[in-house]
Amino acid sequence: MLVEISCGYCKVGHNDLYSLVVLFLVPNLPWIFVPTAIAVSLGYEMAGNLRAAAGLPVSSNKVKRN
């Protein structure tokens, strides 16, 4: 996506908005949301582990895993 922005939409700029959304944006949404969800989940887990290692109280508002 950043490549398209930097070259002035040279590869996909000839498409109308509907084609751009359906053929370019929608298929790429999983590549945006899945890594973001993983990063957020791991971030919460690491923050909890750091709090526990520092001896701070760890909130238990999440479902505990086995």
The domain spans of the chain are 2-53
- Residue-level pLDDT at 18: 93
Q: Is 24 exposed, middle or buried (0-12, 13-18, 19+ CB in 10 A)?
A: middle
- Residue-level pLDDT at 3: 84
DSSP structure string for the chain: -HHHHHTTSTTTTTS-HHHHIIIIIHHHHHHHHHHHHHHHHHHHHHHHHHHHHTTPPPP--SPPP-
- Residue-level pLDDT at 9: 81
Question: Along the 66 residues of the chain, how does pLDDT read in single tens digits?
Answer: 778 888 888 888 888 989 988 988 899 899 999 999 999 999 999 999 999 998 888 766 665 555
pTM of the model: 0.60
Q: How many CB atoms lie within 10 A of CB 25?
A: 13
